[in-house]
Amino acid sequence: MPELPEVETIARGLRGVLVGRTIVGVRVGWGNLIARPTVEEFKRRLVGRKILAVGRRGKYLIFSLSGGGSLIVHLRMTGRLLLKNAGDDPDKYDRLVFKLDDGRELRFNDMRKLGRAYLVEDEGEIVGRLGPEPLDDGFTSADFAALLSRRRGRIKALRYAGEFFAELYSAKRALHYAQGVAAL
């Protein structure tokens, strides 16, 4: 599963090439990837929309669209977003393809079929329950300590508790997942 810094890197990389592009077509290779709305509505509502911004909240990639609303993508375990030329051979794991106005395609490639895509009017519907962003300048070690003071258990369990905070970036402190929260 991509960790928070990798998802941030993906968002930054896509921001430079996708902002200002218009989605001219959508091909869904595996319908269960679309969490909401229906597959047909997803395709219909995306065509003709311009990508205004690319961001991230937790491990969710957020594409702000013209006309309001957002496309939200979670890569989960094996998902990848690949920018390809329209004529490039498809990969057998391409589950969702966004055709762009410059002749390229953004392909959601997911071997294990665990990723999800959402098209919503309010991104808070999907990411609103996530806790604070640990990479924000305003998130201090005192904030972190206050959050931990109310928790027990192992660090590993907290890594997957998105409502606790958007992502535990433990590499900074070289923490072992089996340590108790008190070790922090």
Residue range 56-108, pLDDT digits in tens: 999 999 999 999 999 999 999 999 999 999 999 999 999 999 999 999 999 99
Does 98 share its domain with 155? no
* Domain span at 152: 141-183
In the chain, the number of structural domains is 2
Q: In the β-sheet with 23-28, what is the strand arrangement from edge to edge? A: 23-28, 94-100, 104-110, 79-85
| Given the residues 3, 8, 132, 133, the one annotated as active site | 3
* pLDDT at site 179: 63
Name the amino acid, one letter, at 73.
V
Residue 73 CA to residue 62 CA, distance in Å, equals 7
- Global pTM value: 0.81
CA distances from 76 to 19, 21, 23 (A): 23, 25, 23
Does 61 share its domain with 147? no
2 in catalytic set = yes
Residue 3 CA to residue 149 CA, distance in Å, equals 24
Residue 86 CA to residue 100 CA, distance in Å, equals 9
Q: How far is CA 4 from the centre of its chain?
A: 9
Position 134 in a domain: no
Do the beta carbons of residue 163 and residue 131 sit within 8 Å?
yes
Q: Is the pLDDT of residue 155 over 80?
A: no
N-terminal to C-terminal alpha carbon distance within the chain: 23
Residue 140 CA to residue 129 CA, distance in Å, equals 20
Position 103 in a domain: yes
Position 58 in a domain: yes
Position 57 in a domain: yes
- In degrees and rounded to multiples of 5, residue 34 shows phi and psi of -80, 105
Does 30 share its domain with 99? yes
Position 135 in a domain: no
Average pLDDT of the chain to the nearest whole number = 87
Position 63 in a domain: yes
| Given the residues 2, 37, 132, 134, the one annotated as active site | 2
Does 152 share its domain with 75? no
Position 123 in a domain: yes
Give the pLDDT band (50/70/90) at residue 181. Answer: low
Residue in 11, 140, 133 with CA at minimum distance from that of residue 71:
11
